[in-house]
Amino acid sequence: MILEKIAARTRSRVDECKQKKSLEEVKKEAQAKDKHEAFLFEKALRGKDISFICEVKKASPSKGIIAEDFPYLDIAKDYEKAGATAISVLTEPEFFLGKDQYLHEIAATVNIPVLRKDFTVDEYQIYEAATLGAGAVLLICALLSVEQLTRFRQIADGLGLSCLVEAHDKTEIEKALTAGARIIGVNNRDLRDFSVDINNSIKLRREVPADVIFISESGIKTAEDVAQLRKNNVQAVLIGETFMRSADKVRELTKLYGPAAIPRTKICGISRVDDVAIINEVQPDYIGLIFAPSKRQVTPSKAHAIKEILSPAIETVGVFVNEVEAAIINAAHSLALDVIQLHGDETEEDIIRIKKETGCAVWKAVRVENSGDIEKWQHSAADMLLFDTFSREAAGGTGDSFDWTLLKGVTRPFLLAGGLSSKNVARAIRKVVPWGVDINSGVETSGVKDSAKIKEIMSIIRRLK
């Protein structure tokens, strides 16, 4: 069978690698590697809704060459922008034309976890995966004994790597569970004859306990396939060929996932008259003018100049941090602000008074450090809450995002802020379902608003429906 052939070739390849770098050396390198947060791969897959693992692969034994032209880094970046939860990278060189270099560069470029998709037959490959920056490795039940699966899983655990343990039938699932698998992937492709049937995942779903992540792999092509898997409590799908053959990954993922609720958009920190042309072109719902001390601060005269040429369809949000009330009222009236965003330590009483005095809607920014911060403001009189990243150094505009799972108990509409960019906005919108997104430093280059980035992020958001 093809699998045994690949495994045999892989053993020889690993032996060759050991001649160049010994097991001890690669082990030391892996253990010395700067450890990011451990097990990010499995943490990322434990979302409310189905997750997508998108695969970067040039060829396969069943399909031959899939991508003649193979800009692997661009493909990975497009997956991230489309909202992939993780990326799978083929590194097997002979049958899949993969390379370690692809994994290494991709893992260094994207901010989502990366799976090393290879035929693990030796612990050497697990240490190697860690040195290449992988967050997870593949262990195939058909190739490994329970003892090997257990040992390899333990080695990966010691390195903070997750193991996707692949099974094809009930016996292999039992084997995976005995080995302590926390993630089981059911391959819908029968490697004896390459036939594909996604019902294999559906049939085997009940064999895997609810606390073990269940991934359906191979042959997923349509929105109906995904809907069926979602209905059967499959937590993630691993899709290669369908995405590899699609020119527009954002649209393809949207087609498979289903349309998202498109949020209101605010582009914050407009501080140059020159930025207004692109704003008028892309028409976000709001712009933010920052009156607080910041590299994005606007003077009253600059604010007037921006307002003068701003499209009347776009509303203006004034952003203030612990500002004296008279100044807020003055700016609200003289600039005809639509919304006042309070981004400091303002109290509930301040919100009520400022609403009354200005006649504007008031948005309260809550800088999230823990779930208590959210709870405190749930019943605020503010017209909208805006959740941003907590920082001791700055009131806002940090460019960092926070743990969005903290928002799962929020019962009222809200805006999401903090480090949103074209890399994470699709994921944020699908995972968090915010009423609005507030985009700021994520559309800047060297501290200045970047027209191409503004255009790109607005285009991604609009392609999610």
Ligand X SMILES: O=C(O)c1ccccc1N[C@@H]1O[C@H](COP(=O)(O)O)[C@@H](O)[C@H]1O
> For binding to ligand X (CB under 6 A), which residues are involved?
268-269, 288, 290, 292, 294, 296, 319, 321, 343, 386, 388, 395-399, 417-420, 438, 440-442
Could you tell me the smallest distance in angstroms from the CB atom of residue 106 to ligand X? 25
Active site residue 357: no
CA 167 to chain centre: 26
Could you tell me the smallest distance in angstroms from the CB atom of residue 49 to ligand X? 24
- Please say which residue, 399 or 413, places its beta carbon nearer to ligand X: 399
Active site residue 55: yes
Q: Which listed residue (88, 187, 188, 401) is catalytic? A: 187
CA gap 236, 267 in Å, rounded: 32
- Please say which residue, 219 or 396, places its beta carbon nearer to ligand X: 396
Cα angle 60, 61, 63; round to 5: 65
Could you tell me the smallest distance in angstroms from the CB atom of residue 100 to ligand X? 34
- Please say which residue, 91 or 441, places its beta carbon nearer to ligand X: 441
Active site residue 330: no
Q: Which listed residue (80, 92, 123, 166) is catalytic? A: 166
Active site residue 295: no
Which tokens belong to 305?
A: 């100049």
Q: Which listed residue (80, 123, 172, 217) is catalytic? A: 217
Active site residue 117: yes
Q: Which listed residue (27, 42, 51, 57) is catalytic? A: 57
- Please say which residue, 213 or 454, places its beta carbon nearer to ligand X: 454
Could you tell me the smallest distance in angstroms from the CB atom of residue 271 to ligand X? 9
Q: Are 178 and 171 in contact (CB under 8 A)?
A: no
Active site residue 218: yes
Could you tell me the smallest distance in angstroms from the CB atom of residue 442 to ligand X? 5
CA gap 384, 365 in Å, rounded: 9
Active site residue 322: no
- Please say which residue, 242 or 441, places its beta carbon nearer to ligand X: 441
CA nearest 88: which of 68, 65, 60? 60
Could you tell me the smallest distance in angstroms from the CB atom of residue 365 to ligand X? 6
- Please say which residue, 152 or 291, places its beta carbon nearer to ligand X: 291
Amino acid identity, position 410: V
CA gap 315, 311 in Å, rounded: 9
CA gap 240, 259 in Å, rounded: 21
Q: Which residues are catalytic?
A: 55, 57, 117, 166, 187, 217-218
